[in-house]
Structure formats: structure tokens, C-alpha cells
Structure 1
Amino acid sequence: MTTLVIGANGQIGRQFCELAKAAGEPIKAMVRSEEQRAWFEERGIDTVVADLEGELRHAFEGCDQVLFTAGSGPHTGPDKTLMIDLYGAIRAADLASELGLSRYLMVSAMRAEDPLSAPEKLRPYTAAKFAADAHLRHSRVPHVILKPGRLTDEAATRKVATSLEETGGENTVSRANVAHALLHLVQARTLVDCEFDLLDGEREIAEALS
């Protein structure tokens, strides 16, 4: 019952992996290079070297679900957005379906629901997320799509909302709260074929994401 974490070395990915380790949740952190392994191995977290733009299938061995929290990052161009946020997510979903994994958990974005509403420089990213989400919805693998609002580095409150109506229009969520929400979703294995927006709010995570 191991979760493959694609994007483990990202800001949300690292926080999630630490939470999962502390909770005793079996995970395998996928990293791009041997150099990235040290941080995880120091914490006793199992790792595998694989690449969304290269060899990938072996990373899924021994895993029954996958968490996709990878991203090309703000300092890359549209080419990497296409290869990581779109094609990488699609490749991973297709492998999860082919290998019969129980679930695929996707970290998307609220703005992916309407890419043209995003600031111009973010539109390639939100369009990639829009298309990757659509592909996942039509795949054969059971899925959960989590769509955080604008990310911040605030501390975890473990209190969230799932709509702008709850927050009075405030559209932010801390990366720490996203990591806690992902731990809940990874452990809530009966949740399938559902989607949640995620914002900082006043509700307990288990109540909001049910």
C-alpha cells in the first residue's frame, strides 16, 4: 500500500513526505537525480530516481497509488510547462491506468478551471493543468484532483475551505496546509473520482475533504 510521490523534491512534496514519514504512511519519493536523494535518505524516506521526461515505468514498482505534485517551476519556459505539467502528468496517469493502480491523486490549481482568467504569464501553466486534469477525468484510473488557490509560505493551520464563498473571496492557501490535505487524501482511500478546491479557511481538513 505504497504511494509513489512524483514531485517529491518540490516545496509541497518535501513537506508532504515529512508528514507521511511521521505518520507511518508508506511512500516512495521520486527524484530526478542521485544528488536529490540525500535529503530524503537522511529522513529514512524510500526514494527512486526517475524522470518525467525520460524513463519512468520502474518508479511505479511496488506502488498501489500515485501522488502527482510535480511542476516545472516559475523560472522555466512554456517548453518545460508542456513537458512536465502536461505531458508528464499524462504519462504518469496512463502508466497508473495501465498498471492497475488504485488511485491517481493530482495536485492541480483553481485557475485551471478557467485558464484565460489567469495572469498572462501563468496561462501556459493553467492551460497545461486544464488539459492534464481533463485527460485524468477520462482515464480508467480512479482519481482525486486537488485544486489549491494561490500558494503562500504561511505556517500550517490545518484549517481549510473549499470555496471562495467560505473565505469571502480570499484565494490563498499555504503550502503547509496543502501538504496536510494531501496526507489526508492519501490515507482516505475510499475517496475516488472527486475534486476539491483548497483554500485556507476554518474547517478541519477531514471535514472539508470528505
Structure 2
Amino acid sequence: MRVLVIGTEDLAGEHVVKLLAEKQHEAVALASSENQEEGLKKLGASDVLRTDRNDFSSAFTGCDAVIYLGGASPRTGESKPILIDHELVLDSIKSAKEYGVRLFVLLSALRDDETDTSGSGTTGAKQMPEELLRKEGIAYTIIRPSAPVDKPGKGRVEVAKTLAFEKGEIPKEDLASVLVEALEADSVINKTITVTSGETPIRQALTEL
């Protein structure tokens, strides 16, 4: 499967690229600098495209799926809620539909009322991107994680269809595994799920949902 990863500089993005390569998928990644490009190739990316956020639609060409982490604002920092960049994710969803992408896996935010205090107006509540994705006719999985943290992954999570944990956390490595496993988990197609650290192996947690 050829998979475009948007957001390799944020959160679990590098882990996603590495996992895709290990599972024999073709990982297509976006890079904004030569150093980032080299790093992504070392992680196993099949193609790395040098581009900027204002013009990356051609990256969707030939892709079967998208894993989107690109709207997760780095301003949130460690153990903080994810903020969603409306403009970037909306453009990505529209491009995915235009280029015939079959599956869109969106890393969203856990809470409905997450807000951006930076004053930029580009990030904030997640409802708009999620609603567009549901209406565009692309198969999707929306994943709302608890706070991502830089800790070793355990390979075990708790998954639910509704908000069941407001203050949990999840290692970025495990979050990346959830995003990649969602590509082949029919049980989560066209569903919105919440995920945090738990005791169930990741693949089992998704298939049993």
C-alpha cells in the first residue's frame, strides 16, 4: 500500500514512517528541509517530497491511503492536548478526494472543546475537519488519542468509541502503531475512536472494537 504521511515533524510521524517501511508499505513523506529529507529516507520512506504547506497536492498522486498528523500543533508541547490546524487538514482531505485516495486516517484531538491560545485562528476545535471527512465519501478512521508522551511504547492500548478517559497518556510509538494498524483494520473503517495506554495488544484492541 502506498501511504502518504502528513506531519512527519510532529508527534509520532517519524515512528509512522518507520513502521510503514517495516510492514512493507510504501511511505511517502513531505520534507521542508534537506536534513529532514535525509532523516526520513533513513527511516525507510520510499519517497520524500520537498515542498511547503501551501502547495503539496501533487504528493497525493498514486497514494492508496493518507495518515494525517500534520495539524497537530507543536505549540502544545509534551503531555498537552493536540490542536488541529483547520486549513491544512481541510486542504488535505479535499486533495485526497481529488486524487482518488481510498482511506484517510486522521489523528484528531480527544476533546471537543480544545482551543488555541496563540491567536493565530488556524488551530482549535476539531469538529470542522472531522465533519468534512465524514461527508467527502472517502473511507476514514478518526483517532482521538489521550496526551502523546515521549516514553517507550508498550504495544498495548485501550480503545473506545466514546470519550472514556480525559487525563490519560499514550507513548508516541504506540500511537504510531495504532495509526498504521488502522490501515488494515476493517473494524474501524468509517469510525471515530479514542485511544490511550492500556493492557490489550494494539491489533487486538482495534479488531475487537
The answer to whether the superposition gives a TM-score over 0.5 is yes
RMSD: 3.0
> Any stretches of 5+ residues in structure 1 without a counterpart?
none
Structure 1 partner of 2:183? 186
The answer as to whether partners of 1:160 and 1:200 remain within 8 angstroms in 2 is yes
8 Å CA contact 2:86–2:129 kept in 1: the answer is yes
Alpha carbons 1:50, 1:59 under 8 Å: kept = no
> C-alpha distance in 1, partners of 2:10/2:37?
13
Equivalents in 1 of 2:110, 2:27: separation in Å? 26
1:52-71 → structure 2 map (5 Å cutoff): 52=53, 54-70=54-70, 71=72
Contact 2:108 / 2:142 at 8 angstroms: preserved in 1? Answer: yes
Q: 1:159 aligns with which of 156, 161, 175?
A: 156
Partners of 2:129 and 2:87 in 1: CA distance: 8
Provide closer, same or farther for how the CA distance between residues 100 and 167 of structure 1 changes in structure 2, counting only shifts above 3 A: closer
Aligned residues: 199
What does residue range 81-160 of structure 1 map to in structure 2 within 5 Å? 85-111=85-111, 114-115=112-113, 118=114, 121=117, 125-127=123-125, 129-160=126-157
More helix by share: 1
Q: Deviations over 1:121-155 (max 9, x none)?
A: 4997441x222112211212111101101121121
CA distance in 2, matches of 1:68, 1:29: 11
Where does the alignment leave 5 or more consecutive residues of structure 2 unmatched? none
SS at match of 2:173: helix
The 1:166/1:65 distance shift into structure 2, 3 A limit, reads closer
- Compute the displacement of 1:187 (Å): 3.3
Q: Aligned equivalents of 2:12 and 2:48: distance in 1?
A: 16
Which whole-Å deviations, capped at 9, do the CAs of 1:95-138 have from their partners, x for residues lacking one?
A: 11122211111000111xx21xx4774997441x2221122112
- Structure 2: distance between partners of 1:61 and 1:18: 21
Identity of aligned residues (%): 24
**Following the alignment from structure 1 to structure 2, what is the Cα–Cα distance between the partners of residues 68 and 178?**
12
Give the C-alpha shift of residue 159 in structure 1. Answer: 0.7
- CA distance in structure 2 between the partners assigned to 1:130 and 1:136 by the alignment: 10
Deviations 1:145-183 (A, max 9, x none): 011011211211111112499987652111111011112
More strand by proportion, 1 or 2? 2
1:191 positional shift: 4.4
